[in-house]
A and B are shown apart, each in its own frame.
Chain A
Amino acid sequence: MKIRHEVLITPERAVVDGKPIPVTTHGIDMLTELYRTRINDYPRFFKMDELCRLGFVASELLLQAAGDRHADSEDRAVVMFNSSGSVCNDRKYQATLQQPDGFFPSPSLFVYTLPNIVTGEIAIRNGYHGETAFYVLDKKSSALIDNALRATFCDETTQSILGGWLDCEAPDDFLAELYLIEK
């Protein structure tokens, strides 16, 4: 298992393969800034919840570093881990059930109350038909994550993984540590 590229995004900075990307904003606004300055061709970004925005931007920066997009492939898996699931969006959705003027559950919010939606968003963007999975751990454990990523290669079709830690506890409290890994 070889790490080919890595990206780190915190509310304060974005770093690709050890090189910081200059940004003027922070928190959730920084994700929008990165989208506008580095991506800017996928308006669906603005429909996504915070966890998906974080994962989308991180995956785009990784794939730009790699210079290949593996369109319409089955051999690349997308496998993510975190500890807070989809809690940001869960709270937003719950609020739609308890508004003072009534009960207005929103299907577009509900769909993002599953953390694995981000793996689907990345698969759709890139035409990845390979394995997509999301795992939740009580605490970040490098050993457990490393084991699970290695085990993903048990599927004989899988040759590379876009994956790692992707956690968004609040709009200003998030961490992406994603890797592009080859078998």
Chain B
Amino acid sequence: MVCKIADNIFSPLGFTTEENYQHVRQGCSGVRRHEGWRGLPYPFAASLFDWNRVQLVDGFTPFESIVIRSVEGALAQTDVDAASPSVLFVLSTTKGNVDLLEAPSPASAMQRLPLGAAAQVVASYFGNPNMPVVVSNACISGLNAQIVAMRALQCGSYDTVVVVGADVLSRFIVSGFGSFKALAAEPCRPFDIERFGLNLGEAAATIIYRRAEAGSWHAVRGAIRNDAHHVSNPSPKGEGCYRALRYVMQGQSAGDIAFIGTHGTSTLYNDEMESAAIDRAGLLAVPVNSLKGYYGHTMGAAGVLETVLSMRALDDGIVLGTKGFATMGVSHPLNVSASHRTTDKRAFVKLLSGFGGCNAAMLFKKGGMA
């Protein structure tokens, strides 16, 4: 089995998983309205770090620093020797150090513009001898990275995989989503009738997996499927999302699933698409949630952060509420709730979708055998 042995969330809501969970449990959100941010000509709401509170690592960029802080936080819970050749680092990110393009930077920093080079300096910081793998598969990268970890452990190539997802915001990223008219100026409202766009967010999150006979949380199945429809719009029927969901639910009973953690970005098309996919999979009765109201869309971090937070909440028997949701606004009526709910179930499915028509689904279970 592929078992989780440690985790960390390093976000504007806290620097440990526990701090993040307690804040979300109390209904706190990192999303605020920002005007004139780095000279951008429009307001937008986003969950941004207070960089005065983040302890940067000497000689590393802000992006690399949050990756390192998150990995350190997770490694500290284990006896893993990160310098061992049996440990693989997998980094999930969309744009890494892209803000280096913004202003002329020293050559030593510019060398870390390529994602592989940034990952390499982080792996070297921990003394790891293997070339790290960077997953750059748009917004599904955080689940894709965990699927890479599962496979690397199942094939026996490594004993331990450190999966870390991270992104920081730059003019590059914010203006890009802005050019798509996808950004909301107010906190987002996933699945709500009045949803008007997404919020972006900054974060890093880490999950460490190890091959073991038994453990608390384990990654059971994962799949990636493509819409084969459009590079920037999701398939209206949720083609790829449905196919990924169908694959991970093979041989599973819907009654065992505590909830489906959706992508739930709060754009018109994404949320509608996910409702179609969940309906096609026959899972409309299963509770669903979106965590974007607490963190915004944290891009490369999202798949890891939302998985870790979902595990922590289920440890407490809680299905987290969908902050910002009030009135059903998708045509396939999902089982969404603004407030937290209780459950005694021990499994959940996580979904993500991204540009390039890619979609990912993973099934996680707690305790016992796979």
Chain A partners chain B: yes
Binding site for B on A (CB under 8 A): 72, 74, 78, 83-85, 87, 90-91, 93-94, 97, 103, 105-107, 110-111, 113-117, 119-121, 123-124, 126-139, 141, 144, 147-148, 150-152, 154-155, 157
B221 to chain A, nearest CB (A): 9
Contact in complex: A151, B155 (CB < 8 Å): yes
Q: In the bound complex, how far is the Cα of B227 from the Cα of A141, in angstroms? A: 30
Within 8 A of A (CB), among B9-64: 41
For A136, list chain B residues within 8 Å (CB): 114-116, 119, 134, 136
Pairs A–B under 8 Å by Cβ, sample size 12: A85-B136, A90-B101, A93-B176, A97-B171, A110-B175, A124-B231, A129-B228, A131-B225, A132-B224, A136-B116, A137-B116, A138-B119
| C-alpha spacing A123/B239, complex, angstroms | 13
Choose among A83, A85, A132 the residue with the greatest number of B CB atoms under 10 Å from its CB.
A132
Contact between B136 and A120, CB atoms less than 8 A apart: no
Q: A117–B233 Cα gap in the complex (Å)?
A: 12
User: Quick one: given A124-B231, A129-B226, A154-B151, are A94 and B137 in contact (CB under 8 Å)?
Assistant: no
**What is the CA–CA distance of A121 and B98 in the complex, to the nearest angstrom?**
23
**Chain A residues within an 8 Å CB radius of B240:** 129
Contact A119 B133 (CB under 8 A): no
Taken together as a complex, chains A and B put the C-alpha atoms of A94 and B104 apart, in Å, by 13
Interchain CB contact (< 8 A) of B178 among A105, A131, A135: A105
Q: Is B165's beta carbon under 8 Å from chain A?
A: no
What A residues does B135 contact at CB under 8 A?
Answer: 133-135
How far is B88's CA from A137's CA once the two chains are assembled, in angstroms?
A: 13
Given contacts A124-B228, A137-B133, 6 further A-B contacts (CB under 8 A): A94-B101, A97-B175, A116-B356, A117-B356, A132-B358, A148-B148
Complex partner residue of A116 from B41, B120, B138, B151, CB under 8 angstroms: B138
Q: In whole angstroms, how far apart are the Cα atoms of A115 and B135 in the complex? A: 10
Given the complex, which residues of B lie within 8 Å of A83, measured CB to CB? 114, 116
Indicate whether B223 reaches chain A with its CB closer than 8 angstroms. yes
Q: When the two chains form the complex, which single residue of B94, B98, B131 contacts A139, counting CB atoms closer than 8 Å?
A: B131
CB of A156 to closest CB in B, whole Å? 8
Q: Which of A127, A131, A144 contacts B224 (CB 8 A)?
A: A131
1/0 per residue, CB under 8 A from A, across B314-343: the answer is 000000000000000000000000000000
Q: Is B213 an interface residue (CB 8 A)?
A: no
A-B contact count (CB 8 A): 162
**Contact residues of B: prevailing secondary structure:** mixed
The answer to whether B119 and A105 have CB atoms under 8 Å apart is no
**Given A90-B101, A132-B226: A113 touches B176 (CB 8 Å cut-off):** yes
- Chain B residues with Cβ below 8 Å from A90 are 98, 101, 172
CA distance A74 to B224 in the complex (A): 10
| Residues in B154-207 with C-beta less than 8 Å from chain A | 154-155, 157, 171-172, 175-176, 178-180
User: CA A27 – CA B247 in complex, angstroms?
Assistant: 42
Whether A85 contacts B115 by the Cβ 8 Å rule is yes
- Shortest 8 CB-CB contacts between residues of A and residues of B: A120-B356, A138-B116, A110-B176, A151-B151, A136-B134, A123-B226, A105-B175, A105-B179
Is B144 interfacial (CB 8 A cutoff)? yes
Q: Is the CB of A111 within 8 A of B232?
A: yes
Q: B179 contacts which of A94, A107, A150 (Cβ < 8 Å)? A: A107
Q: Are B228 and A128 in contact (CB under 8 A)?
A: yes
How many angstroms from the CA of A59 to the CA of B117 in the assembled complex? 27
Q: Which of A113, A127, A148 contacts B95 (CB 8 A)?
A: A113
CB-CB < 8 A to B117: which residues of A?
A: 138
A78 to B120, CA, bound (A): 25
Contacts of B171 in A (CB 8 A): 97
CB distance from A147 to the nearest CB of B (A): 6
Residues of B near A137 (CB, < 8 A) are 116, 131, 133-134
Give A103 to B175 CA distance when docked, in angstroms.
Answer: 9
- Check if A114 sits within 8 Å of B101, measured CB to CB: no
Rounded to whole angstroms, the CA-CA distance of A155 and B225 in the bound complex is 11
CA distance A9 to B137 in the complex (A): 23
**Cα–Cα distance between A151 and B88 once the two chains are bound (Å):** 15
Interface centre among B114, B136, B231 (most CB of A within 10 A): B231
Which residues on the A side are within 8 Å of B98 (C-beta)? 90
Q: Which residue of B lies closest to A71 (CB)?
A: B228
Q: Pick from A90, A123, A150 the residue with the most CB of B within 10 Å.
A: A123
Complex Cα distance, B247 from A115, in Å, reads: 26
A-side contacts of B223, CB under 8 Å: 131, 155, 157
Residue pair A124, B357 in contact (C-beta under 8 Å): yes
- Is B355 on the interface with A (CB-CB < 8 A)? yes
B243 and A135 within 8 A (CB): no
User: Which residues of chain B are near A144, meaning CB under 8 Å?
Assistant: 131, 133
| B residues near A133, Cβ cutoff 8 Å | 135, 137, 144, 224, 358
- B179 and A114 contact, CB distance less than 8 A: no
CA distance A124 to B131 in the complex (A): 32
